[in-house]
Structure 1
Amino acid sequence: MSNRRKKPDVTGRTKTAAARSPAERLEPGRAPSRPRGLEAREPSRFVAGTVRVFSGLFTVALVAMLTLSGAGLVVLHQYESPGPLETARTFVVPKGEGRIAIAERLEREGIITNRWTFIGGHLVQSMFGAKKTPELKAGEYELKERTSMRQVMDVLAEGKSILYKVTVPEGLTSQQIVERLKGEANLTGDITKPPAEGTLLPDTYQFSKGASRQEIIEKMQAEMQKTLAKFWDKRPADLPLRTVEEAVTFASIVEKETGKPDERDRVAAVFYNRLKKGMRLQSDPTIIYGITGGQGTLGRGLTRTEIDTKTAYNTYQINGLPPGPIANPGRAALEATFSPAKTNDLYFVADGTGGHAFSETLKEHNSAVQKWREVEKQTKPKTMADERDAAAPDPDVTPIPEPNAAEATDPDAPAQPAARHQADSGKSNAKPDGKADAKAAASKGAKAVTPANAAEIPLPVRKPKKP
C-alpha cells in the first residue's frame, strides 16, 4: 500500500455521479439535497397562529359591521318613517320624567312603534348628530298625525310646548293674586312663601302646563324689581320719596284711586302736592286695606266711625304715607308715580262719567262735590225715604274758607276734604254725606250749622266700580 496522499482537486470541479442505467433511473430515489447556503427557514408555529387569529377576527368584524349596518339601516328607516298616530293629539312630559319612562309612555299611547328605537335614536343624535339633541324637556306638546320618531324627538327636545296664559290685573293685593293662581288648573304645587305686598308686577304671564305656581310668583317678583330699577334710576330730583319702598306704596295708592289710565298722573300730582303742603292724603283705599288686611274687598261703604278711627293705614288720621303698599301697582301707576302731571291740584271728586273733576282750591272742590251729588241723586234708585226727604228743603253746600298758610303746613292741622272718586277693583268707598241730618234739622226748624273746619264738611257718596 502506498503512503502517498491523494492530492486534492484544485480545479474546484465536482466529480460527476456514476452513470445510472435506465432501469435505475425509474426507481424512486432520494431527492438531491439543496445547497447548504440556499436552505430556506420554515415559519414558526407562533407566527402562523397569530396570522390565523387576526384573520378570524377580521372576518368576524367584517361580518358584524355588515350586520350592524344592515340593522342600522332598518332602524333608521323605522326612526324616520311616519308613526302610527292617526289623529293629532297632545302629549305631556311631567317635570323630572326620564328618557326611558317617556319612551315607554309614547309606545304605550300609540305615538311610536318601538321604545328602544326611540331611545337609540336619541342617543345617536346626542353623540353624533350635527345638531346635538339636548335632554327632553317638560311641558305639553302638540303632536301631529303620523309624526315620525325623529319629529317627536325634535319637538320634545326643542321644548316648544303649548303655552298657557294667566293675567293678573293691576291693583290686586298679594293675597288676591295667590288665590287667583290657586284657581289656575294648569299650574301645579303650592306657593311656599307668600309674597310681600307690592312685590309682584301685574301683567299677563305665559307658562307651560305643569309649571309651578311658585315659578309664576318668582317671575312676577323679578319683573317688579326690573321695572322699579328702571324707573328709580331716572326719577326726578324733586320727588318727596326717600326709598323704593315708599315709591311702591305711593304707586299702590294711585293705582287704587283711579281706573282711568289718563288720570293716573293727575292723581299722583294731587297726592304729591298734598304731601308737599303737609296735608294728609285722605285716601279711602288705605282705610279699606287697614280693615281687610289685604284679604279682599270691604263689600260696603266706609262708616264715619271707620274714617275717624286712627289706624296705621288710615290716611285721614296719619300724616304722610301708610307703612307699606296697599296693593300691587302696575307699570302705568309706577310711571305716573315717577312722572306726575305738573299741576297745582289738591282735590278730586267723581264727575259721574267714570272720571274725576280736579280742583286747585277748596271753593272749586265744593262746587264739584255739589255737581256729583246732583248726578248721584239722578242715578240712584229712589226709595220711600228719599221721596219723604225730597219734600224737605235741601240745604246748600256751605263752602268753608281756604286754610291759611299756617294750617296748610302744619301736619296737625285739621284734615282737608279728601279726594273723592269712584273706587277701583270693586271696592266701595261710599261716605255718609250728612245730608239727611241737615234735612232733619231743617224739618225741625233748626238752622243748618256751618262746618267749623275741613274735617266736618259733608262727604259725597261714592259708588263702587264693578270689578
Structure 2
Amino acid sequence: MWRSIASNALSLLIVVLLLCGGVILWGKGQYTTAGPLDQAICLRVETGSNMRRVSDELANQGAITNGRIFLAGADYEDKASKLKAGSYLITDGSSMQQIVDQITTSGRSTCGTEVNYRIGILSAELQVRELDPATNRYVEVLAHDPAEGEAPAEYAEVAAQSDVRYRVTLAEGVTSWQVVDALKSAEFLTGEVSNLPAEGSLAPDSYELTRGADRAELIARMELAQAELIAELWPARAEGLPLANEQEALILASIIEKETGVSSEREQVSSVFINRLNQGIRLQTDPTVIYGITNGQGSLGRGLRQSELRRETPYNTYVIDALPPTPIANPGRASIEAALNPANTDFIFFVADGTGGHAFAKTLAEHNRNVAEWRKIEAERANQ
C-alpha cells in the first residue's frame, strides 16, 4: 500500500515538474519571441516610475501579451531595478526581452519631443519636433526665432519635460560669428564663449546635447569635428593641387560653399578656381569681397558696389592675386571634398544660369554669352 502511494506521489511529482518545466519554457518563449505590435509606438517612462507601471502601459498599448511574464523576465535578468526614464521608440514586433533591454540600458531617448536649434545663413530657428512612431519621421509642432523675442508659452511647457532631447544644427556656410551670436540666444545652454573661433574651424553638423550644456564645450566639439574631418580628407586629395596646406583647402572649400548651393556642381566650381590658381588668374569671386566688408557678421543685404569691387582689401579677389588669408565661412564635408578633388575641366568662368545653378565656360567669349543670357533672365524677372 505504502509502495503504491509512494509510486503515485512520485508520478504526480514528475507530472508537476513536467508541467512546471512546460510553463517555464512557454513563458520563456513568450518573453523572447516577437511581440504583438503591428505598428511602432513611443513609450514614455516617467522619472520615478517602476517596471509594473511600464508593464501596464505596454499592455494597454498592445505591445506585450502578458504583463506577468514581462515582469518575471525583467526580474530573472536582474533588470527590474534598472529602469531608466526617457522616451523610447518601440518598433513593431519587438519582443518583451528587447523592450526590457531598451528601457534599462542607455537611458537615451529615441522618440518623443526634440528641440532642434538650427543656425542658418540668414537666421536661427528653434524647432520643436515630435517623432511620429508610425512613419519614424519628425513632425514640427513649433518654430521660433529667438531673435524675435521671448519664446511662446508652448515652448516653456516642452522645456519643462525631463525627457526632451536637444540638439544644435549648423548649416553649411555659416560664419563663426553667426554661430557664436546664435548660441548666445539658446536659453538651454550655459556659459560664455570668450574667444571667437577661427573662421572655417567649425564643422557644420548636428550636435546632440543635454539641457544646461556649456557653450564653450559645444564650440570645442565643433572645432574637434572639423579638425578630424580635414585630417581625414587631406591625405586623399588629388595630385598637383595649388594648395599648400589644410588651411588653404578650407579657404577654397569655404568659397565653394558660398558660391553654390547645388551639390552636383561643387566639383565643377572647384575646378574653375583650381584652374585659375594654376594659371595665375585672379579668383574674382563676390563672396570673398562681401566677407571683407561684413567680417562674416550677417549678410550684406544689397548688391556690391563698383567701388567695393575696386577697393583693395585682403579679401577682394578682384584685386589680390591668390586666395584670401582665411576661410570666409565654415565649409561642410562636401565642399571640402570638392576643393580637394575637383572635376577635371578646362572651365575658368561661371555665371548664374537662372535655375539656381551655373553656366560654365572655357573662354571669355563663351562666358560673355552666358552673362548676356543671365542679364536677359534678370530683366525678364524684374518686369514680372
Q: TM-score, normalized by length of structure 2?
A: 0.60
1 CA distance for matches of 2:281 and 2:176? 29
In the other structure, the counterpart of 1:374 is 376
In the other structure, the counterpart of 1:98 is none
2 CA distance for matches of 1:142 and 1:336? 40
In the other structure, the counterpart of 1:359 is 361
Q: CA deviation at 1:157?
A: 8.7
2 CA distance for matches of 1:90 and 1:171? 40
Output one character per residue of 1:320-377: Cα deviation in whole Å (capped at 9) or x when no partner: 0001110000111001011100000000011111111000000100110111111111
In the other structure, the counterpart of 2:212 is 210
Q: CA deviation at 1:168?
A: 0.6
Q: Which secondary structure state, in structure 2, belongs to the residue aligned with residue 227 of structure 1? A: helix
Q: CA deviation at 1:192?
A: 3.5
1 CA distance for matches of 2:221 and 2:107? 19
Q: Which secondary structure state, in structure 2, belongs to the residue aligned with residue 380 of structure 1? A: helix
**Unpaired segments ≥5 residues, structure 1:** 1-86, 92-105, 113-128, 144-153, 383-467
Aligned residue among 108, 117, 129 for 1:160: 108
Superposed, 1:65-144 pairs within 5 Å as 141=86
2 CA distance for matches of 1:169 and 1:283? 21
In the other structure, the counterpart of 2:68 is none
Output one character per residue of 1:57-103: Cα deviation in whole Å (capped at 9) or x when no partner: xxxxxxxxxxxxxxxxxxxxxxxxxxxxxx96765xxxxxxxxxxxx
Q: Does 1:199 align with 2:201?
A: yes
Superposed, 1:303-318 pairs within 5 Å as 303-318=305-320
Cα distance, 1:299–1:156 mapped onto 2, change above 3 Å: farther
Q: CA deviation at 1:158?
A: 4.3
RMSD of the alignment, in Å? Answer: 3.0
1 CA distance for matches of 2:86 and 2:184? 23
In the other structure, the counterpart of 1:341 is 343
Q: TM-score, normalized by length of structure 1?
A: 0.49
Q: Does 1:184 align with 2:186?
A: yes
Question: Which residue type is aligned with residue 367 of structure 1?
Answer: R
Question: Which residue type is aligned with residue 354 of structure 1?
Answer: G
In the other structure, the counterpart of 2:224 is 222
2 CA distance for matches of 1:381 and 1:274? 36
Conserved in 2, the CA contact under 8 Å of 1:141 and 1:156? no
In the other structure, the counterpart of 1:265 is 267
Q: Which secondary structure state, in structure 2, belongs to the residue aligned with residue 184 of structure 1? A: coil
Q: CA deviation at 1:189?
A: 2.3
Superposed, 1:291-310 pairs within 5 Å as 291-310=293-312
Q: Which secondary structure state, in structure 1, belongs to the residue aligned with residue 167 of structure 2? A: strand
1 CA distance for matches of 2:306 and 2:106? 61
In the other structure, the counterpart of 2:285 is 283
Alignment coverage as a number of residue pairs: 251
Q: CA deviation at 1:130?
A: 7.8
Q: Percent identity?
A: 48
In the other structure, the counterpart of 1:41 is none
In the other structure, the counterpart of 1:429 is none
2 CA distance for matches of 1:331 and 1:315? 24
2 CA distance for matches of 1:291 and 1:190? 27
Q: CA deviation at 1:194?
A: 2.2
Q: CA deviation at 1:155?
A: 7.2
2 CA distance for matches of 1:311 and 1:260? 29
**4+ runs deviating over 4 angstroms:** 87-91, 140-143, 154-159
2 CA distance for matches of 1:320 and 1:292? 20
Q: Does 1:251 align with 2:253?
A: yes
1 CA distance for matches of 2:189 and 2:376? 49
Q: Does 1:319 align with 2:321?
A: yes
